[in-house]
């Protein structure tokens, strides 16, 4: 996806902040971007989920991360800040925004 479209999607969640979005990596099922809030210095990970097992994959990943966090395991897991398990958005892909 285009970086400008990622910024449009993120504007709803990080409104009023100057964002820098850089491509980090691509795997079989995801593209990963580093999002830096230039105003506060906060860093986030934005994962774009490629259209494999639509809806189910993203929902399961978010639920698994939340389960790990809620049950005080020793497994490190980022906090999910927002996600969209539908490709019916400005980006055209499912996505997950989480802490770095």
Give pLDDT tens digits for 15-53: 888 999 999 999 999 999 999 999 999 999 999 998 888
CA gap 27, 29 in Å, rounded? 6
Cα angle value 50/84/70 (rounded, 5°)? 105
CA gap 14, 82 in Å, rounded? 10
Residue 59: which CATH number? 3.30.200.20
- Tell me how many domains the chain contains: 1
The overall pTM is greater than 0.85: yes
Q: Which domain holds residue 27?
A: 3-99
């Amino acid at each position: 996806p285009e970086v400008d479209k990622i910024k449009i999607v993120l504007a709803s969640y990080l409104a009023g902040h100057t964002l820098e979005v850089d491509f980090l990596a691509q795997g079989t099922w995801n593209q990963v971007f580093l999002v830096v809030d230039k105003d506060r210095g906060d860093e986030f990970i934005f994962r774009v989920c490629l259209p494999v097992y639509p809806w189910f994959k993203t929902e399961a990943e978010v639920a698994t991360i939340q389960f790990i966090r809620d049950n005080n395991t020793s497994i490190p897991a980022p906090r999910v800040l927002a996600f969209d398990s539908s490709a019916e958005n400005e980006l055209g892909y499912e996505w997950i925004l989480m802490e770095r």
